[in-house]
Amino acid sequence: MALWKDPTKDPSMPGSDGAAALAAEPAMRSVATPVPTSSSAGEPARRAERAAPAAVGNAKESLIAADVTIEGKIEGAGHVRIAGRFKGDVNVQGNVTIEQGAHVTGQIAAATVMVSGEVHGNIQASSRVELLETGVINGDVKAAVLTVAAGSRMRGNADFGWPESAK
């Protein structure tokens, strides 16, 4: 069976078996699958944009999927998105995103940390920490900028807004 159209056969021509007519449609198509950036379809587009940190340079993003549990250590220069369960320390130069429903137990050090799930451990961000509506932090936070949304929860100390030399 051919998966492409044979230009030499025409189904309207006598002696043609019509197979070329079926082959005119491609058997497989490449379809771009959109990645959801927020949990609820009714949220404003600006929130969806804020929930997905912008890529810095050529940095790649690693994903721990929702049905995955991992124990260990993450280190590197790229971005990390956690939607499942992770137990261990995360130390990256890029961004860390904790999705809604995700659970992280360990220390996090990154440029930007966005929390929609749960973090049990300390967070240190060189740029900013965003605690979104569904986010829970049980530990200390140290960042240049801290954004806390209504409805989020935190138990621990927060140190933010001070210049790097004063820390």
Confidence of residue 162 (pLDDT cuts 50, 70, 90): confident
DSSP element (H, E) containing 49:
helix 45-51
Confidence of residue 78 (pLDDT cuts 50, 70, 90): very high
Cα three-residue angle 66-153-98, rounded to 5 degrees:
25
Tens of pLDDT along 142-154?
Answer: 999 999 999 999 9
pTM over 0.75: no
Give yes or no for residue 93 having a pLDDT over 60: yes
Give yes or no for residue 119 having a pLDDT over 90: yes
DSSP element (H, E) containing 46:
helix 45-51
Mean pLDDT score of the chain, rounded to an integer? 76
- Domain ranges (residues) in the chain: 80-152
Which pLDDT value is given to residue 117?
Answer: 97
Q: Give residues with Cβ within 8 angstroms of 163, minimum separation 6.
A: none
Tens of pLDDT along 53-68?
Answer: 444 456 789 999 999 9
Distance of CA 69 to the CA centre of its chain: 16
Q: Are 143 and 123 spatial neighbours (Cβ–Cβ below 8 Å)?
A: yes
Mean pLDDT computed over 5-19: 50
Mean pLDDT computed over 25-52: 39
**Regarding predicted confidence, which is higher, 141 or 47?**
141
Which pLDDT value is given to residue 139?
Answer: 97
Q: Are 74 and 80 spatial neighbours (Cβ–Cβ below 8 Å)?
A: yes
Give yes or no for residue 82 having a pLDDT over 60: yes
In angstroms, the CA 60 to CA 27 distance is 31
Give yes or no for residue 70 having a pLDDT over 80: yes
Which pLDDT value is given to residue 57?
Answer: 55
